[in-house]
Structure 1
Amino acid sequence: MANVDLKIVLLGAQNVGKSCLVDRYVNSAFDEKQKNTIGAAFAAKRVQTSRGQVTVGLWDTAGAERFESLSRVYYHGAKGAIVCYDATSPFTWKKLRFWMGELQESEPTCSVFIVVTKCDLWLDGAGSSPAHSGSEASGPTVGAPGTGGLLPREVPEEEVREYAESVGARVFYTSSRTGFGVREMFEAIAEDLATHKLPQRASEDVARVRLTDARPAGDGEQAGASRAAHRAGCCS
């Protein structure tokens, strides 16, 4: 297992699409027949941030209820948690609320991010799918491949927004099938965690001191010469 700078855990109901998110991001792949995770799976990826390159470790946990106690082992010490739900499934939203409560109780310092999965499958309030548009909220209605059409959104966006604000979580919209928002989501989370969770590096401290305290070349010598001339004048 690679040494990681940022540990991120993925949580959510079974079949919500956690493994597909990781597969799309790490391998640029999508498997329609992705098998359910047993226990947890691990993947690592180097990510460029404003703090330099960091290694992000992704713990993809099993969504089945019989593995819930095991998932708690994997999110222990995580810097961030990606909690997923499918907007066409109220059950997955209920499970998201469950995992948010677990994290707040067990890992209160863990930064939490809400991720909407399978955006290619649902219609928003305007009758469109964000996964097939240039923005997160609108665009032309396009049937998802192999589905025969789009599904209604069962979890109101306003409810999600209000809940996210109440817990201080950012919300991301994604589709592993089309790739919509996946890379942007992971990179934004890595940047956020690198900025707020990584300890200050010694090299950064030194650079900051040098920038703050640096003087133009020759200032020290000129000041010394001036003092010497002043002393000489006093003695003559």
Structure 2
Amino acid sequence: MSRLTDQEFSQVQHYFVNKGTSQSLVAIDRCIFLSIGAKQLYRNLCQYAYGNKKTCYPGQALLMLELGISSATLDKYLDELREVGLITTSRYSKGTLLYKLENVWEPFCLHHSEWIWMMIELIRSDPDSYSRVSNTQIKKIVYEYKRSELYNDSFDYCNENMGEYVQRICDWFSERLGMRINSTFNDWKVIMCLGPEIMVPNGNHILHKY
């Protein structure tokens, strides 16, 4: 939800037509594998699917007006959200689609992105590692990963051999970061640590659960 001071909230309520605030899942806002346009479109759809609703039907012309984009660009972002499984659409009426917001724990791209963030936070939380690896280096390595053969292979692993794939990601980043990252995987729960093996938390190893 947007953070507003009491004065800001009072001014908005008094002068604005669009008075509300919106909520968005941080995992989607920070998803490494979604474009900024697709993220903003998803946010706008969430504004229409208020409360506990999972469907909405804003007109495409209205969405284009809100986002300042063309019909072709709207279609591109809709295709992106459909492709990763965040939404499904069906015909509602002439010129209008019915948008269904799918369960957020289902899209593989969110799990995939969270694994990358888990490694980043693991590095940032370890003083020795963080002193040797800058945020700029991490950014470059993540961009390289998104162009790698391993990233393209992710679509073949999304329904099976997930534990093997998570460790392959760790190995890929370990090689480029000059450190060892290990993982265990069970029922979509991942544990990662720095060091030669998974151990209980102590002064030398840091565990992160997802």
Larger radius of gyration: 1
Q: Which has the higher strand share?
A: 1
Q: Which has the higher helix share?
A: 2
- TM tier, smaller: under 0.3
The normalised TM-score by structure 2 is 0.24
Q: Which has the higher contact order (CA 8 A, sep 6+)?
A: 1
